[in-house]
Homo-oligomer: A and B are copies of this chain.
Amino acid sequence: MRSKLIDSISESASMKMGQIARERKHISDLINLGIGDTHFPTPVKIVDKTYNYMNEGKTHYDNGQGIITLREAISRYLAKRFNASYSPNEIIVTPGSKQGLFYCLFLLIEPGVKVGLFEPTWLAYVPMIKISGGKPVFCSLDHNMFTEKSLKELEKKNVNIIVINNPTNPSGKVWTSKELNLLVSFCLKKNIRIISDEVYNEIVYDKQFISLGSFESIKKTLMLIGSFSKTFSMTGWRLGYVCGKDHYIQDRLLKLQQIVATCPTTFTQYALADTLEEGLTTTRDMVTMYKKNRDLLYNAFKKTPLKPLFPDGTFYLWVDVGEDGDIFAEKILEDLHIIVVPGRDYGIHTQNYIRLSYALDTKIIREACRRFENAFKK
């Protein structure tokens, strides 16, 4: 039995806080800044189209790769928005981006393979790498930037694969062109495959987001991961995608999906194919609100001795609290009735951090700011 492998994966800080949130639901003024989800509803048009397609009988098994019209829509979308050109046959629609990531890691990893991650990064990569038999290897950034110094560190780690999350959960980092170029040149030279998880590609503020899919040089070995969960506030729908120009890899990823899942849910794919483009207007409204929330929360923390990192994307604030993040999180749950995620699982030097989500109504964010400012006066 593979139980040892699975037992080596500890309960994530994020799961633990989810559990706490369920247990404390009775606290009337509880504010949950712990979830990686938005409070917005899914756009009405997507919902209505879904209902239509259910009624039209799109309730059966369908193409294991994802329906062709959705793959065509994704192809157009990536080209238009991010200058990333993938033909529909280079795209696999998956039941959530996480599952696509799992296919990639399960396919690429053989026991002992080292997978490089830049800390802090999304906590879900580590368990996925571990159950696939690989070894997660954290590499530090240089003041949250990928520089020549970070490159030297990375070089020493001898990784075989790199997973980059851009924009980054939990830090809100958006990789610059310079950083991406540095990484790409290195990976090309060393024959390292990159898996670029870009599920927050639409949740970006002042900076411009650059997709690794727009880099021609790396396209042959790049695996690009996308999702609509954050873009259209549809985390519970479970729809994501994997793009790649290495047909050898894509064929095998598809085979994996057919073996594990048959196909993603069908009627939701039809609905999304019809609404992907126009749905983006809703996304812009959401991002406007997140930006307002970001400014409020960041500025509130700047008034305290705690050290927030300025986020250019995602809807998270990453804060150095100068003490154990688990203890800090418990304390503010008790004292301020606010749930946050302790930072320990996002890296190996992240114990003194916490992550806060601001994908909530601005009124709630204002109230959270008030509580933090009052509790942590400079």
Segment at the interface with B among A250-258, A293-301, A343-351: A250-258
User: Would you call A302 an interface residue if the criterion is a C-beta within 8 Å of the partner chain's C-beta atoms?
Assistant: no
Please give the distance in Å from A154's CB to the nearest CB on chain B. 21
Neighbour of A110 across the interface among B1, B96, B261, B264, CB < 8 A: B1
Neighbour of A265 across the interface among B35, B62, B238, CB < 8 A: B238
Q: Assess the B95–A236 pair: CB atoms within 8 A.
A: no
Segment at the interface with B among A47-55, A81-89, A212-220, A369-377: A47-55
Q: Assess the B55–A15 pair: CB atoms within 8 A.
A: no
User: Would you call A127 an interface residue if the criterion is a C-beta within 8 Å of the partner chain's C-beta atoms?
Assistant: yes
In the docked arrangement, what's the CA distance between A235 and B267, Å?
Answer: 11
Q: Assess the B35–A61 pair: CB atoms within 8 A.
A: yes
Q: Assess the A2–B59 pair: CB atoms within 8 A.
A: no
User: Would you call A280 an interface residue if the criterion is a C-beta within 8 Å of the partner chain's C-beta atoms?
Assistant: no
Please give the distance in Å from A303's CB to the nearest CB on chain B. 32
Please give the distance in Å from A140's CB to the nearest CB on chain B. 25
Chain A 16-49 residues near chain B, CB threshold 8 A:
35-37, 41-42, 47
User: Would you call A102 an interface residue if the criterion is a C-beta within 8 Å of the partner chain's C-beta atoms?
Assistant: yes
Q: Assess the A60–B235 pair: CB atoms within 8 A.
A: yes
Q: Assess the A41–B61 pair: CB atoms within 8 A.
A: no
In the docked arrangement, what's the CA distance between A58 and B235, Å?
Answer: 10
How many monomers of this protein are in the complex?
2
Q: Assess the A261–B96 pair: CB atoms within 8 A.
A: yes
User: Would you call A6 an interface residue if the criterion is a C-beta within 8 Å of the partner chain's C-beta atoms?
Assistant: yes
Q: Assess the B95–A238 pair: CB atoms within 8 A.
A: yes
| Binary contact readout A117-137 vs B (1 if CB under 8 angstroms, 0 otherwise) | 000000010011001000000
Chain A 156-196 residues near chain B, CB threshold 8 A:
none
Neighbour of A262 across the interface among B57, B108, B238, B258, CB < 8 A: B238
| Residues of the B chain whose Cβ atoms lie less than 8 Å from the Cβ of A256 | 6, 131
| Residues of the B chain whose Cβ atoms lie less than 8 Å from the Cβ of A237 | 59, 265-266
Most buried by B among A1, A42, A236, A260: A236
User: Would you call A327 an interface residue if the criterion is a C-beta within 8 Å of the partner chain's C-beta atoms?
Assistant: no
| Binary contact readout A196-232 vs B (1 if CB under 8 angstroms, 0 otherwise) | 0000000000000000000000000000000000000
Q: Assess the A98–B252 pair: CB atoms within 8 A.
A: no
In the docked arrangement, what's the CA distance between A54 and B267, Å?
Answer: 13
User: Would you call A106 an interface residue if the criterion is a C-beta within 8 Å of the partner chain's C-beta atoms?
Assistant: yes
Please give the distance in Å from A250's CB to the nearest CB on chain B. 12
Please give the distance in Å from A230's CB to the nearest CB on chain B. 11
In the docked arrangement, what's the CA distance between A164 and B236, Å?
Answer: 32
| Residues of the B chain whose Cβ atoms lie less than 8 Å from the Cβ of A55 | 47
Q: Assess the B54–A54 pair: CB atoms within 8 A.
A: no
| Residues of the B chain whose Cβ atoms lie less than 8 Å from the Cβ of A64 | 15
Query: What are the nearest 10 A-B pairs in CB distance?
Result: A236-B266, A51-B51, A42-B59, A47-B54, A127-B259, A61-B235, A60-B236, A59-B236, A6-B252, A102-B260
Give A contacts to B, CB under 8 Å: 1-3, 6-7, 9, 15, 35-37, 41-42, 47, 50-51, 54-55, 57-62, 64, 95-96, 98-99, 102, 106-110, 124, 127-128, 131, 233-238, 248, 252, 255-256, 258-268
24 A-B residue pairings within 8 Å (CB atoms): A1-B110, A2-B108, A2-B109, A15-B258, A36-B61, A37-B60, A37-B61, A50-B54, A59-B233, A59-B235, A59-B236, A59-B237, A60-B236, A95-B95, A95-B265, A99-B260, A99-B261, A124-B259, A128-B259, A236-B265, A238-B261, A238-B264, A265-B265, A265-B268
**Additional pairs, 12, CB under 8 Å, beyond known A50-B50, A61-B235:** A6-B107, A9-B255, A35-B61, A41-B57, A41-B59, A60-B235, A124-B259, A128-B259, A236-B263, A236-B265, A236-B266, A238-B261
